[in-house]
């Protein structure tokens, strides 16, 4: 373990946390994000509740608790902006299971990566980041585990493919669409983001069906 408590299990989660915190500081609370209806402040509130308020975080997934989650989130996000950023930068309270390095790596690597791009790609003239090959490999390993659940609404089979020849079948069907891109781009597409650089191959009607799907959590 390194001096700051980072291990291989959560290295990328911690790195993306720092990138996101810097972006929030640079862009300010009022810029749009790719999360429909959310500004940067809303996104920050979501992350604070998700990590530090498990009682309210259930409302992210359970519609009946959404009102309570929103109440807690608004209270968290409407504090002084520097304090909001610092809350994200320093991470969850010590009592949170998110503090554990393995949990952090599993739960936060993609979470923070996707939300970094939610901020970046909602701004004019965005470009892909030049991510380290090791990080691309980490995203590929993780998206293979998550994609079948994220893309289960597809009416056709989907194969995720990288330019260097890696392939993974995310879901089954009578027709097959292959989506090719860097692991980072495939990850964002599987999470329902449209501001991505990927290529589609397969029958035209099947491609149209995939592009019409609502993927993600």
Whether 113 and 44 map to the same domain: the answer is yes
Same domain flag for 103 and 194: no
- Of 120, 144, 177, at which residue does a domain stop? 120
130 within domain boundaries: no
Q: What is the pLDDT of residue 105?
A: 84
- Confidence class of residue 3 from pLDDT cuts 50, 70 and 90? very low
CB atoms within 10 A of CB 202: 18
112 shares a domain with 16: yes
Judge contact between 114 and 191, C-beta under 8 A: yes
Residue 114 and residue 187 in contact, taking contact as beta carbons nearer than 8 Å: yes
Domain membership flag for residue 186: yes
Among candidate residues 111, 110, 132, the one with its CA nearest the CA of residue 57? 111
In a domain, 188, yes or no: yes
Do 96 and 141 share a structural domain?
A: no
DSSP state of 195: S
Domain count, the chain: 2
CB 161 within 8 A of CB 170: no
Residues 6+ apart with CB under 8 A from 37: none
Domain termination site, one of 93, 120, 147: 120
Instruction: Answer yes or no: is 3 within a domain.
Output: no
Residue-range definition of the domain harbouring residue 88: 11-120
149: domain CATH number is: 3.30.1050.20
Structure-block tokens of residue 57: 């975080």
The residue among 9 and 59 whose pLDDT is bigger is 59
The 8 Å CB, 24+ separation contacts for 123-131 are 123/27, 123/31, 123/32, 126/195, 128/182, 128/184, 128/185, 128/197, 129/184, 131/182, 131/184
Taking only the tens place, the pLDDT of each residue in 124-162 is 989 999 999 999 999 999 999 999 999 999 999 999 999
Q: Does residue 76 lie in a domain region?
A: yes
* Together in a domain, 47 and 112: yes
- 20 and 110 assigned to the same domain: yes
Q: Are residues 148 and 201 in the same domain?
A: yes
Q: CA-CA distances (angstroms) from residue 208 to 13, 22, 148, 190, 211?
A: 34, 37, 19, 16, 5
Kindly tell me if the per-residue pLDDT of 4 is higher than 70: no
Within a domain: residue 126? no
User: Do both 161 and 94 map to the same domain?
Assistant: no
Residue 125 inside a domain? The answer is no
pLDDT (tens digit per residue) in 29-57? 999 999 999 999 999 999 999 888 888 87
- Integer angstrom CA distances of residue 24 from 94, 96, 130: 23, 23, 20
40 within a domain of the structure (yes/no) = yes
């Amino acid at each position: 373990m390194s001096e700051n408590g980072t291990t291989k299990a959560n290295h990328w989660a911690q790195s993306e946390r720092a990138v996101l915190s810097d972006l929030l500081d640079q862009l300010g609370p009022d810029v749009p994000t790719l999360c429909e209806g959310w500004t940067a402040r809303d996104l920050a509130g979501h992350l604070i509740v998700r990590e530090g308020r498990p009682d309210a975080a259930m409302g992210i997934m359970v519609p009946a608790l959404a009102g309570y989650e929103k109440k807690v989130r608004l209270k968290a996000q409407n504090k002084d902006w520097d304090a909001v950023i610092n809350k994200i930068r320093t991470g969850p309270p010590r009592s949170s299971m998110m503090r554990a390095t393995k949990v952090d790596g599993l739960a936060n690597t993609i979470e923070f990566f996707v939300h970094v791009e939610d901020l970046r790609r909602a701004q004019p003239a965005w470009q892909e980041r030049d991510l380290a090959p090791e990080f691309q490999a980490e995203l590929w390993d993780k998206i293979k585990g998550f994609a079948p659940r994220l893309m289960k609404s597809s009416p056709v089979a989907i194969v995720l493919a990288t330019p260097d020849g890696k392939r993974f079948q995310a879901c089954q069907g009578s027709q097959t669409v292959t989506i090719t891109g860097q692991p980072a781009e495939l990850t964002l597409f599987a999470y329902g983001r449209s501001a991505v650089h990927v290529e589609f191959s397969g029958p035209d009607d099947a491609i149209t069906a995939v592009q019409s799907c609502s993927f993600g959590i």
